Amino acid sequence: MSAHEKKFPIAEYAQSMHDVFLVSSFASWAMLLGFAPVMAYRLLVS
């Protein structure tokens, strides 16, 4: 544990929340970019 973590105990929680938001935003963009072309294709074909 560094001195920074002792001084700011909320920093560890904030870092973990930042990691969760980063992963979830990446997942949502990946889903959107993968889903949009498939739906456009299905709308054009049908």
Given a cut of 60, is residue 1 above it in pLDDT?
no
Greatest distance between any 2 Cα atoms in the chain: 62
Its pTM surpasses 0.85: no
Assess contact for 42 and 35: CB atoms under 8 A.
no
Query: What's the domain count of the chain?
Result: 1
Distance CA 34, CA 40 (A): 11
Q: Can you read off the two tokens belonging to residue 5?
A: 């973590």
15-45 per-position pLDDT tens digit: 889 999 999 999 999 999 999 999 999 999 9
Q: How confident is the model at residue 2 (pLDDT cuts 50, 70, 90)?
A: low
Angle among Cα 7, 24, 21 to the nearest 5 degrees reads 20
Look up the domain containing 31 and give its range: 3-45
User: 28, 22, 1: which is closest to 12 by C-alpha?
Assistant: 1
